[in-house]
Structure 1
Amino acid sequence: TPATELAELAAESVGVDLVEVSPDDFGATDVDDAGAQGDAELEPMEAALREIAAADDLDLAGVTAGAVESEFQTDRIWGMCDRLGIDLFAPLWQRDPVELAEAMFDADFEIRIIQVAAYGLDESWLGRRYDADALDDLLALREEYGVHPLGEGGEFETYVVDGPHMDRRIDLTYDTVWEGDRGHIEVRDATLE
């Protein structure tokens, strides 16, 4: 997952505690394809949540998922929550993706595209602001190549650098890495403004 090293800054800006979980901490299988890995991909998270739920000073009520249309992803997280006896909160599930994007723009989220892996998405998309103009371009790419306007199929990944829930904006300095048909940003420095 791109930009996971920025989670600490995001948590600080939002004002929440960060609980970091490394797959290595729980002996997770190292497989690149989530489909081939199945629920094994969730094992580290499930083990960490089990530990949190068992802690006397913490009260774990549930998990929030950001899936919009991915039944594969949502079903697996639902199953994990069921095994843990906690609720799944999925406020974006089955919402119209264009309306969701427009709601984020209207709420003044500043979102950057940090990884691309689909026809029509070239190196110029890396670091680009995900805004109304980008959405228009993505809708044209949906017609031509089937690109999901929120990247729900893994076509692209994003990172929120500022929003109404954040006290301070995250400033990124990065290089772009292009591998012929896919690419990502490589963060050199990240600070809270």
Structure 2
Amino acid sequence: MKICTLFSGGKDSTYSLHWAMFKGFEILCLITLLPKKEYSWMFQVPNVELTKYQAEVLGIPLLQIPTSGEKDKELEDLKIAFKKAKELGARGIVTGALLSDYQRLNINIIAEEVGLKTYSPLWRKKQDEYLRELIEEGFKFIITSATAYGFPFELLGKIITEKDVEIIIERARKFGFNPAFEGGEAETFVVYAPLFKRELKIEGYKKKISEYEWRFIITHIH
């Protein structure tokens, strides 16, 4: 089946893309929505404009579509994206939805309206096991933003290791945030995955926004 995949450049959408590839789907394109606002109800905001570098090392065409970032209007933008996917010949959409009912339901409703099937391979996946599985399967990613009390902010900007995953899981249990960040606790950027032709090298710096909010600003990609 020919599909397109919603792609933010983070761990969840990248994992779902690889799932689709190994399941035998024909990937026509990646779809990245580019919110104009700092926060979005539906889409990842930090570093989504950088998905062009990931698309290049994946060798997959990329559609980058601007969106208002406003709660209802961005759903109209999502429909535009799905219509473009269908025009390319796609019959389905793959998503990285993990726990958000709001995101998954809206994606499913809009896809059905356009005439596309949806696939969400990570839906309700056990969080701890998923994080460990990412590392075991060779995914390399950095944390680019974090907003949660008790979060190990020192991990921002570094490639996450098995040891780091255990630190995140331990902190999540202690302080009550989601270990896979589905509650918006953190955002990630994948620098290498099994289907990447080469690894992306990242340069940047940490920026403190508030006591419980930090960001890693990417300044250059090799």
TM-score by length of 2: 0.75
SS in 1 for 2:98: coil
Separation in structure 2 between the aligned mates of residue 16 and residue 115 of structure 1, nearest angstrom = 26
Deviation at 1:90? 0.5
Larger proportion of helix: 1
Q: In the TM superposition, what is the alpha-carbon distance from 1:152 to its structure 2 partner?
A: 0.7
Quote the residue 2:64 is aligned against.
20
For residues 153 and 123 of structure 2, the distance between their equivalents in structure 1, rounded to whole angstroms, comes to: 30
Aligned pair count? 177
CA distance in 2, matches of 1:115, 1:75: 26
- Structure 1, unaligned stretches of length 5 or more? 32-36
The structure with more radius of gyration: 1
1:176–1:184 CA contact under 8 A, matched in 2: yes
Q: CA deviation at 1:183?
A: 1.7
Contact 2:152 2:168 in 1 (8 A): no
* Distance change (3 Å), C-alpha of 1:40 and 1:149: same
Q: Which structure 2 segments of 5+ residues have no match?
A: 1-44
Partners of 1:127 and 1:187 in 2: CA distance: 9
1:87 counterpart = 2:117: yes
Report the Cα distance in structure 1 between the residues aligned to 2:85 and 2:141, rounded to whole angstroms: 30
Q: Which residue of 2 aligns with 1:126?
A: 156
Native 8 Å contact 1:138 1:147 kept in 2 = no
Match of 2:137 among 74, 92, 107: 107
**Range with greater deviation from structure 2 (91-100 or 126-135):** 126-135
Question: Of Structure 1 and Structure 2, which has the larger fraction of its residues in strand?
Answer: 2
CA-CA distance at 1:2 after TM superposition: 0.8
Q: Which residue of 2 aligns with 1:34?
A: none
Q: Residue type matched to 1:44 in 2?
A: D
TM-score (norm 1): 0.85
1:184 and 2:184 aligned: no
